[in-house]
């Protein structure tokens, strides 16, 4: 175990319960689809048996499990949320079995170790430790382990619609943030106060068709290609919300120049940011995605055979929409940019939306306090906008102030991440995560 993280773990419960829980969870294949979260929910219900957990089915073979520690009611409840389903591992070049936690060279690997069974294991271990200590709590602490986060959030949606009494809370802590390791030290803590809305649109064009030996001037593929070319050159407006500004301001501390300088300039801009600074941010995919709604072509199809003119062509456009941009406005913008009434823009499934929440108040204050206490006064703490989707959007839309919190310290790298092969974290991360999340929960609930 790394010396720095060993220090963090030493004053809290052992990491062993979290590791045991993680081993159990990873061993249950909850690849979504089909999910099979009920099997994992039953395992966790047995561990939580003394607290009378409730299993709530939302589809055949699919279920959530919810348990509650009672407080004195002087403050409204705190919800700990994690999901039990994972993305598949088929056809990925894993070097270890994906559905078994494996230790190798100081790391632990397994599907869901990061997304999101590691969070579930840490949260469950913290929850059980609080129950054992029997400390006076001013809030009820609720633990909810849900299903289908990876495919639209049916688990949390079912609870909000049918059993909101089980999870109704003032504050939520969920996945979505990060603890960045540099060597043996946590150097930055990000927490998610907003996330982009996931919305896909389908573009459809039609042509006259006919024999390929006699080309006409109404070719569905060419019409679609012209539309996509226009979209590729378009940029949505910059949205400098409070979360975006803070993320740019503090994120600049760990970015190279001139990017860092551009981030500071844009963060402090009172009106439209200078074009040269925006150009620097737009040249880097992560900062471009942080500051704007983005829409990108991800799939295309058309035609029936090589010697026939295409009658129809389609493209899939995946948008990640800033919380302040409304979906009808995004669709209208796409239609305006394309400028062709013969290209039909149609949204696919509604994946849900949630507002941005405050970067000031009890939760950000607790994050700053515990981060400085555990990781040192020099640690950088920043709000962030989630570029992916989490179940927090449904909670925020329902009035729960849900913050994304990373619990497993990890170096910044492009490999060993969520959804990819050999998903993994340093072995010492579990113990540090128990200490970190335990400290936050105590600060907010006691």
Model confidence over 283-310: pLDDT tens digits? 999 999 999 999 999 999 999 999 999 9
Q: What is residue 216's predicted lDDT score, i.e. its pLDDT?
A: 96
CATH fold label, 3-176+390-445: Aminopeptidase (3.40.630)
Q: What is residue 8's predicted lDDT score, i.e. its pLDDT?
A: 42
pLDDT at 5 over 60: no
Q: What is residue 13's predicted lDDT score, i.e. its pLDDT?
A: 52
- pLDDT single digits (tens) 68-108: 999 999 999 999 999 999 999 999 999 999 999 999 999 99
Give the separation between CA 141 and CA 118, rounded to whole angstroms: 19
CATH (one of 3.30.70.20, 3.30.70.360, 3.40.50.300, 3.90.180.10) for 197-243+279-347 = 3.30.70.360
Q: What is residue 6's predicted lDDT score, i.e. its pLDDT?
A: 40
> What does the mean pLDDT of the chain come to?
94
Query: CATH 3.40.630.10 spans which residues of the chain?
Result: 3-176+390-445
pLDDT band at residue 9 under the 50/70/90 scheme: very low
Give the separation between CA 203 and CA 315, rounded to whole angstroms: 5
pLDDT band at residue 405 under the 50/70/90 scheme: very high
**Residue 9 or residue 126, greater confidence:** 126
Average pLDDT over residues 378-398: 94
**CA 249 remoteness from chain centre:** 21
Give the separation between CA 193 and CA 180, rounded to whole angstroms: 18
- pLDDT single digits (tens) 356-383: 999 999 999 999 999 999 999 999 999 9
Average pLDDT over residues 114-134: 96
DSSP code, position 367? H
Average pLDDT over residues 244-252: 93
Average pLDDT over residues 50-73: 97
Q: What is residue 169's predicted lDDT score, i.e. its pLDDT?
A: 98
Q: What is residue 123's predicted lDDT score, i.e. its pLDDT?
A: 98
**Rg (alpha carbons) of the chain, rounded to whole number:** 23
Query: CATH 3.30.70.360 spans which residues of the chain?
Result: 197-243+279-347
- Percent pLDDT > 90 in the chain is 92
Alpha carbons within 13 A on the beta-carbon side of 424? 22
pLDDT at 414 over 90: no
pLDDT band at residue 412 under the 50/70/90 scheme: confident
Give the separation between CA 351 and CA 426, rounded to whole angstroms: 33
- pLDDT single digits (tens) 129-150: 999 998 899 999 999 999 999 9
Give the separation between CA 82 and CA 115, rounded to whole angstroms: 9
**Which of 430, 411, 353, 385 has the alpha carbon at shortest distance from 187?**
411
Q: What is residue 10's predicted lDDT score, i.e. its pLDDT?
A: 40
């Amino acid at each position: 175990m790394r010396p720095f993280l060993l220090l963090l773990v030493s004053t809290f419960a052992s990491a062993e319960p979290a590791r045991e829980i993680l081993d159990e969870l990873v061993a249950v294949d909850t690849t979504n689809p089909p999910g099979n979260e009920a099997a994992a929910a039953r395992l966790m219900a047995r561990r939580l048996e003394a607290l009378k957990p409730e299993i709530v089915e939302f589809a055949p073979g699919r279920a959530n499990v919810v348990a509650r520690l009672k407080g004195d009611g002087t403050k409204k409840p705190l919800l700990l949320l994690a999901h039990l389903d994972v993305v598949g591992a088929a056809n990925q070049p894993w070097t270890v079995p994906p559905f078994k936690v494996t230790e190798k060279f100081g790391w632990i690997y397994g599907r869901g170790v990061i997304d999101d069974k590691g969070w579930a294991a840490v949260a469950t271990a913290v929850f059980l430790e609080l129950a054992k200590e029997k400390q006076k709590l001013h809030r009820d602490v609720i633990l909810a382990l849900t299903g289908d986060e990876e495919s639209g959030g049916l688990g949390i949606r079912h609870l909000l619609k049918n059993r909101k009494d089980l999870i109704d809370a003032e504050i939520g802590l969920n996945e979505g943030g990060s603890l960045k390791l540099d060597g043996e030290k946590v150097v930055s803590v990000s927490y998610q106060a907003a996330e982009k809305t996931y919305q896909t649109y389908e573009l459809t064009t039609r042509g006259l068709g006919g024999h390929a030996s006699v080309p006409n001037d109404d070719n569905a593929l060419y019409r679609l290609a012209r539309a996509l070319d226009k979209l590729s050159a378009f940029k949505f407006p910059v949205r400098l919300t409070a979360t975006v500004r803070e993320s740019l301001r503090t994120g600049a501390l760990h970015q190279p120049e001139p990017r860092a300088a551009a981030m500071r300039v844009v963060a402090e801009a009172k009106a439209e940011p200078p074009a040269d600074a925006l150009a620097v941010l737009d040249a880097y995919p992560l900062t471009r995605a942080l500051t704007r709604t983005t829409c990108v072509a991800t799939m295309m199809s058309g035609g029936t055979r090589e010697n026939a003119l295409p009658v129809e062509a389609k493209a899939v456009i995946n948008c990640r929409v800033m919380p302040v941009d409304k979906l009808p406005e995004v669709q209208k913008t796409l239609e305006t940019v394309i400028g062709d009434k013969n290209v039909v823009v149609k949204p696919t499934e509604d994946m849900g939306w949630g507002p941005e929440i405050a970067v000031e108040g009890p939760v950000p204050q607790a994050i700053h306090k515990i981060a400085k206490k555990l990781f040192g006064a020099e640690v950088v703490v920043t709000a962030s906008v989630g570029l992916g989707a989490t179940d927090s959007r449904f909670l925020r839309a329902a009035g729960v102030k849900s913050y994304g919190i990373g619990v497993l310290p990890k170096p910044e790298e492009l490999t060993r991440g969520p959804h990819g092969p050999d998903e993994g974290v340093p072995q010492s991360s579990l113990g540090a995560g128990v200490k970190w999340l335990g400290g936050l929960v105590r600060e907010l609930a006691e």
